Structure 1
Amino acid sequence: MPTKAVTDASFEADVLNSDTPVLVDFWADWCGPCKMIGPALEEISEELEGKVTIAKMDIMANPDVPGKMGVQSIPYLVLFKDGEPVAQKLGAAPKSQLKGWIESEI
């Protein structure tokens, strides 16, 4: 399953009310490291299908949720379980590190 685009309007339904854990990638088009980890997150989304949903939120198009969450720097990854943020990771990392971190948290 490819990554899912999430907006301020869909955040509650797509993330907070999800039955499975959701990893939200807060990103922006101008962010080089965000673009660097994008393909890795797509692959991880396929590999962990059914275990976790990987969602991407463009902070420029959707300022409300990142503002409420205090997102200061990107890429910023937040794992939600049962509507609660349970783990965060700031900055880019190789695919193996990202996948290992996600698997250890879900």
Structure 2
Amino acid sequence: MIMLAAVVFTAGCTDESQGNSTDIQAVQENNGTVETTASEQTNLQEVQEENGIVKANESGQNTTSQETPEESNVLEVTSLEQINASLEQGPVLVKIGSKHCGPCQAMKPMLKELATEYSGKATIASIDITESPDLEAYFDIGYVPDTSLVVGIKDGDYVYMQENGTVTKDRFSARIQGQMEKEVYENRINLALLQEGKST
């Protein structure tokens, strides 16, 4: 996908008597470096590139960057309503942790990968018990990280997917304690998606 980025390069105010009215700008692109010469009167250049990122390597020049937004993000949960709403789209993997917990923080990159991998099929959610102590009490958290896959609501209670593919209202029998390999979470989500008839 080719994106066009319009970037304004403003030459710094210089005294004409200094005699240096030309600067070299290097614009980094996917296919290499393009060098252009710009006079102090030049204030607009259009750069076409594939990844949407423009860098100007000129002394005193501002660098303009247009980053491609991530396809999907981890849902930061602060209320049960967020989980309930997400369940309408599919299963919700809920990781419960704390900003003071090393393994919880180490899981963040993997959760982002899962969120992208399962975008549109499942929601990857995270709860910080230091920010939401009411949710810590609701889920009766003793140790973190504590992760479970919510697949529905029955009689007002959450229904969780267990490792063997059966469902239960007993979160303790369905939870994943500690920090595990990514495939442990993938396997649980895939089981839920298979039961819902969604391809993984």
TM category, shorter: 0.7 to 0.9
Q: Which runs of 5+ in 1 are unaligned?
A: none
Q: 1:85 to 1:76 in 2, by over 3 A?
A: farther
Alignment of 1:87-106 (within 5 A): 87=161, 88-106=175-193
- Judge conservation of contact 1:3–1:41 (CA < 8 Å) in 2: yes
Distance apart, 1:21 and its partner CA: 1.2
User: How many residues are paired up?
Assistant: 103
| Matching of residues 23-38 of structure 1 within 5 Å | 23-38=93-108
> TM-score, normalised on structure 1?
0.86
Q: How much identity, in percent, do the aligned residues show? A: 28
Give the structure 2 partner of residue 48 of structure 1.
118
With the length of structure 2 as denominator, give the TM-score of the two structures.
0.48
Q: Give RMSD over aligned pairs.
A: 1.5
Look at both structures and tell me which one has the larger radius of gyration over its CA atoms. 2
- CA drift of 1:102 comes to 2.4
Task: Please report how far the alpha carbon of residue 101 of structure 1 lies from its aligned counterpart in structure 2 after TM superposition.
Answer: 2.8
Of 59, 75, 91, 1:4 maps to: 75
Contact 2:92–2:149 (8 Å) recurs in 1: yes
SS in 2 for 1:92: coil
Q: Structure 2 stretches of 5 or more lacking a match?
A: 1-71, 162-174, 194-200
Give the secondary structure class of the aligned counterpart of 2:120. coil
Greater helix share, 1 or 2?
Answer: 1
RCO higher in structure (CA 8 A, sep ≥6): 1
Q: 1:68: Cα distance to partner?
A: 1.9
C-alpha separation between the residues in 2 aligned to 1:85 and 1:36? Answer: 27
Match for residue 83 of structure 2?
Answer: 15
Deviation track 1:3-54 (CA, whole Å, cap 9, x = no partner) reads 01110xx32x211243121111101111111112111111011001111101
